Amino acid sequence: MPKAMIANTIRRLRFEHGEMTQQELATRVGCTRQTIIVLEKERYVPSLSLAFRIARVFDRPIEDIFDLVEEPERRQVT
């Protein structure tokens, strides 16, 4: 099975939501700022509950924010 990653659009959504800071998002979803940083860099796969909390903050369906991407396609995802 090829390696897969969870790509996300958190950084873009933060800026679309009044340039929300990483710390503000972290506080609202109940994690540390460092976790938001690694999430944005796609170096960490969040738990389902954290993913849902993030989706709730941005008022979007979870699949609009997170997407399963096969490793070779990863660079094409923005």
Partner 1 sequence: MAAWIIIASLIAVLFIGATARTLARSRPDPDLGKLPATPLERLGWIGLGIAAALGLSLAVLVALGGAEGFFDDSPYRLVFWLLLMTGITAWFAAWYATKRRFGGVVIDERDRAVLARSLSVESMGVLLSLVVWTISLTEAFTEDGAVPLGYVQLVFWSTLIVGAFGRSVGVVLGYRRGIAVDA
Q: How far is the CB of 77 from partner 1 (least distance, A)?
A: 13
Instruction: Please choose, from the candidates 47, 62, 32, the residue with its C-alpha nearest in 3D space to the C-alpha of residue 24.
Output: 32
Closer by beta carbon to partner 1, 45 or else 62: 45
CA atoms of 1 and 21, how far apart (whole Å): 37
The site for partner 1 (CB under 8 A) is made up of: 3-6, 26-27, 30-35, 37-38, 41-47, 50, 68
Q: Which is nearer to partner 1, 31 or 62 (CB)?
A: 31
Q: How far is the CB of 39 from partner 1 (least distance, A)?
A: 9
What are residue 45's phi and psi, to 5 degrees?
-100, 120
Phi, psi at 51, each rounded to 5°: -60, -45
